[in-house]
Amino acid sequence: MLLPSPVLPLLLPSGFQISVKRDDLIDPYVSGNKWRKLKYHLEDARRQNKTHLVTFGGAWSNHLLATAAAAARFGFKATGYVRGELAANELLFLCSLFGMTLIPAERSAYRDKPALFRHYHANEETAYFIDEGGAGSQGLMGCAEMVDELNDHYDHIFVAAGTGTTAAGLLSGIIQAGLNTTLHVVPVLKGGSFLAAGIGAHTASIEQMILHADYHFGGYAKTSPQLLQFIASLSQSSGMLTDPVYTGKMFYAINDLAEKGLLDRGSRVLAVHTGGLTGLLGKRNAFSF
Ligand SMILES: *Cc1c(COP(=O)(O)O)cnc(C)c1O
């Protein structure tokens, strides 16, 4: 694991200069915020002598892959319940390669994960439940820690949000450290304004947070030619990859806000690269060159 992850400069297509917290470089597969969310789950499992991680995700879940790779590295057995059918895709292939047992779960059964866990693992003393995406207080704590790794002060920190756990952790970290930094959250789902309540439930205040709910490009995992073009051009100009599901939308948002003059030229902006680049392979046919 490459920790603390490095902070590297990035020139956006708009000519705006930012810094990037490269959590994508922590590990290629135990990547980004998924490692931060897993860390305390693994410590907790170890403390309780649980040797079998049981978790959940969709067929392109970065969390499943991170859990599979972390389990292999740290000597755990792992089982992943996959929502719907077992697709023959690159991500699940890597999970199997790391030794994870994959079990398809019908969408109706998948909805109640604790019930699924109880049903199959109630009598298994070594089994340890990790919620989809690594959510929960352990996940939050791991994400808050990222703030302590920063050596410089930033006026603005940007992060992409699915469930908002990472954003809530970062906001807690910012508040605990007494920083006046504003956290900018870019939901990748449609109607992402609902995240404010969830994030607020985990933090002392959401005064230092701004939600940018208009960069979802139609919804979760939806893209547009404009977004894909932006991702390709950023890859070519910087050597840094982003994906169309999460970080591509966040970097697009920062670039767009800068272009519209909504970010001061002199301000110090940090973008969190939350990793998860394997999902890019699932979108390769959407790109045209
Ligand atoms: C899962 C994921 C997110 C979203 O994290 P949440 O804590 O659910 O908001 C963001 N970026 C990447 C790359 C992810 O894999």
Mean pLDDT per 10-residue section of the chain, whose length is 289 residues: 97 96 97 96 98 97 97 98 94 98 96 96 96 89 97 98 97 97 98 93 94 97 96 97 97 98 94 95 89
Nearest Cα to Cα of residue 36 among 76, 64, 3: 3
Q: From the CB of 276, is ligand 1 less than 6 Å away?
A: yes
Q: From the CB of 55, is ligand 1 less than 6 Å away?
A: no
3-state secondary structure of 209: strand
Q: From the CB of 32, is ligand 1 less than 6 Å away?
A: yes
Please report the pLDDT score of residue 20 as a whole number.
Answer: 98
Atom of ligand 1 nearest to the CA of 143: 7
Q: Rounded to an integer, what distance in angstroms lies between the CA atom of residue 200 and that of residue 106?
A: 32
- Which value, in Å, is the radius of gyration of the alpha carbons in the chain? 19
| Token pair 């547009």 in the structure block, residue | 224
Domain 33-134: state its class. alpha beta
Ligand 1 center from residue 13 Cα (angstroms) = 24
| Token pair 């609902």 in the structure block, residue | 194
In order of 96, 218, 223, the CA distances from 229 in angstroms are 32, 16, 10
pTM of the model: 0.96
Q: From the CB of 138, is ligand 1 less than 6 Å away?
A: no
Please report the pLDDT score of residue 15 as a whole number.
Answer: 95
Atom of ligand 1 nearest to the CA of 37: 7
Please report the pLDDT score of residue 6 as a whole number.
Answer: 98
Hey, which of 250, 274, 278, 283 would you mutate to test ligand 1's pocket, going by the most ligand atoms within 8 Å of its Cβ?
274
Atom of ligand 1 nearest to the CA of 139: 7
Q: Provide the H-helix boundaries in 157-245.
A: 165-176, 195-202, 225-238
- 131: tokens are 């919620």
Please report the pLDDT score of residue 236 as a whole number.
Answer: 96
Please report the pLDDT score of residue 4 as a whole number.
Answer: 97
Handedness of CA 122, 128, 133, 134 (dihedral sign): positive
| Token pair 């998948």 in the structure block, residue | 110
In order of 38, 169, 185, 202, the CA distances from 136 in angstroms are 10, 10, 19, 10
Atom of ligand 1 nearest to the CA of 159: 10
Please report the pLDDT score of residue 265 as a whole number.
Answer: 87
Could you tell me the maximum CA-CA distance found in the chain, to the nearest angstrom? 59
Ligand 1 center from residue 142 Cα (angstroms) = 13
- Whether 33-134 and 7-29+137-286 are alike in CATH topology: the answer is yes
Q: CA 12, 13, 19: angle at the middle one, nearest 5?
A: 5
Q: How far apart are the first and last CA of the chain?
A: 34
At the second CATH level, the architecture of 7-29+137-286 is 3-Layer(aba) Sandwich (3.40)
Please report the pLDDT score of residue 279 as a whole number.
Answer: 87
Q: Tell me the domain boundaries of the chain.
A: 7-29+137-286, 33-134
Q: From the CB of 135, is ligand 1 less than 6 Å away?
A: no
Strands 17-22 and 7-11: antiparallel
Question: Helix crossing, 32-47 with 137-148: angle to 10°?
Answer: 120
Q: CA 128, 29, 17: angle at the middle one, nearest 5?
A: 125
- DSSP class of residue 204? S
Q: What are phi and psi of 10, to 5 degrees?
A: -145, 130
Protein residue with its CA nearest to atom 15 in ligand 1: 276
Ligand 1 center from residue 125 Cα (angstroms) = 30
What type of residue is 243?
Answer: D
Q: From the CB of 62, is ligand 1 less than 6 Å away?
A: yes
Hey, which of 24, 33, 203 would you mutate to test ligand 1's pocket, going by the most ligand atoms within 8 Å of its Cβ?
33
Ligand 1 center from residue 105 Cα (angstroms) = 22
- DSSP class of residue 49? T
- 220: tokens are 């979760």
Q: From the CB of 282, is ligand 1 less than 6 Å away?
A: no
Q: 234-266, pLDDT tens digit by residue?
A: 999 999 999 999 999 999 999 999 999 999 989
Q: Rounded to an integer, what distance in angstroms lies between the CA atom of residue 280 and that of residue 246?
A: 10
Atom of ligand 1 nearest to the CA of 163: 8
- Asked if 38 and 26 touch (Cβ cutoff 8 Å), the reply is no
Ligand 1 center from residue 140 Cα (angstroms) = 12
Q: From the CB of 247, is ligand 1 less than 6 Å away?
A: yes
Adjacent-strand bridge partners of 10? 18
